[in-house]
Chains A and B, each alone.
Chain A
Amino acid sequence: MSRARSTAIAALRSAAPVLAVLFALAVSSLVLLLIGESPVGTFAAMLRYASRLDSIVSILNRAIPLFLAGLAVAAGFRMGLFNIGVEGQYRISALVAAYLGAIVTLPTGVHLVFVALVGAVVGGLWAGVAALLKVYRGVHEVISTIMLNFIATGLAAYLLAEHFREPAVPGDLQIKTAALPASAMMPSLNWLLEGLGLELRRGTHLQGFLLVAVLIGAAFWFLVARTRFGYDLRASGTNPLAAQASGVDQGRMILKVMFLSGALAGLVGVSQLVGFFGRYTIDFPVGLGFAGIAVALLGRNTAVGTALAALLFGFLDRSAQILDLEDVPKEITTIVQGVIILAVVIAGEIARRAARTQEAVAVSQEVAGEPEAAAAGGGRA
Chain B
Amino acid sequence: MDFIKSVSDKEIVDRIYSHYTHYDPVQSALIPLLQEIQAKLGYLSTAALNRVSELLHLPPSQVYGVATFYHQFRLSPKGEHMITVCRGTACHVHGSLELYNFLNQQLGITPPQDTSPDGLFTVQQVRCLGACALAPVIKVDETVYGKVDHVKIRGILRTARKGGKQE
Whether A and B are associated in the same complex: the answer reads no
